[in-house]
Amino acid sequence: MNAISDALIITKRQLQQLIRVPEVLIFNTIQPVMFVLLFRYVFGGLGAGIPGGYVQLLMPGIFVQTVTFTLAATAQGLAQDMEKGLIDRFRSLPIARSAVVMGRTLGDGLLNIVVLIVMGLAGYAVGWRPTSGPLHIFAGFLMLLFFGYALSWAGVFGGLFSKDARVVGNISFLFTFPLTFLSNAFAQTTSMPKPLQYFAEWNPVSTMVAATRQLFGFHNKFGVTAHSYPSEHPVTTSLVYMVVIMAVFMPLSVRRYKNRQ
């Protein structure tokens, strides 16, 4: 019980930071909105023949990409706290060993709510129109939040190994950028070389994009793995991925935090 209330105090601290430094929130939302606009109008022509146009395929892709970057944000935030000695101070307090990392992931998760709302509105403004019902749309956003949260734990684990916050940020991007582009987020996997299709279609980013496309009312086309489980059940597959990511990184992260030298 204390572990949760302690974690919420850490989360509150992150929200207070956003009030003190609103630039963080502003840039966190400007960047994905910029992506929406760029992709919508630069690659908009790619969507010939897609009902509703490219933007219908694009938006889920950009949503997933944005929440995937949570990994980097969490890693960097934690690394900064370590650099400042704040993590050592927290570790000298009589609080649960999970509280600080849990609080951090919750804070980054809450930030994603704001970012997703702003992006959704931006998407709507440029022609994105989900065709499913409100419940499905809500479920889609819930999955996006949960996916970001799960990856946030991978970010915690990476961040706890950091000796330099800037390096951690760069490394996380080096890891998440290919992951979001070697996927169906911005282009159908069917146009990729065959061997790449295998990777791209089993990529959790792709199953997430496929799942949200489905929940927003659009069909997603897979290539070589069209008849595989991830292709036919992207929602379930994505949920399994999230559970696995958290089952691996939550205990590892707490252990790493506890045994930090």
Partner 1 sequence: MKSVVAENLVKTYSKGSVRALDGLSLDVEEGTVLGVLGPNGSGKTTTVRILATLLKPDSGHAIVGGIDVIKNPKAVREIIGLSGQYAAVDETLTGWENLVMFGRLYHLSADQARVRARELLEQFSLTDAAKRPIKTFSGGMRRRLDLAASLIIRPKVLFLDEPTTGLDPRGRMDMWGVIEGLVKEGVTLLLTTQYLDEADQLSDDIAVIDRGTVIARGTSDHLKDKVGGERLEIVVSEKDITAARQIIDRVSGSTSTVDAGLRKISAPVTSGSAALVGVIREFDAQGLHALDVALKRPSLDDVFMSLTGHAAEEEKLEEAKAKKRGARK
Q: Tell the residue number behind the tokens 């890693």, with chain if given.
A: 75
Angle between helix 194-202 and helix 204-215 axes, rounded to 10 deg: 70
Q: Which amino acid is at 79?
A: A
Tokens found for residue 11: 């989360």
Q: How far is the CB of 5 from partner 1 (least distance, A)?
A: 8
Region of 15-23, 44-52, 137-145, 213-221 interacting with partner 1 (CB under 8 A) = 15-23
What is the length of the chain?
261
What mask of x and - would describe binding to partner 1 in positions 159 to 198, judged by CB under 8 A? ----xx--x-------------------------------
Task: For partner 1, give the closer residue by CB, 143 or 254.
Answer: 254
Q: Does 95 bind partner 1 (CB under 8 A)?
A: yes
SS3 of 257, please?
A: helix
Region of 9-17, 135-143, 204-212, 246-254 interacting with partner 1 (CB under 8 A) = 9-17
Cβ-based neighbours of 217, under 8 Å, separated by 6 or more: 130, 131, 132, 136
Q: What is the DSSP letter of 71?
A: H
Task: For partner 1, give the closer residue by CB, 76 or 238.
Answer: 76
Q: Which amino acid is at 165?
A: A
Tokens found for residue 94: 């009589």
Judged by the rule CB under 8 A, the positions of this chain that interact with partner 1 are 2, 6, 9, 12-13, 16-17, 20-21, 84-86, 88-95, 99, 163-164, 167, 259-261
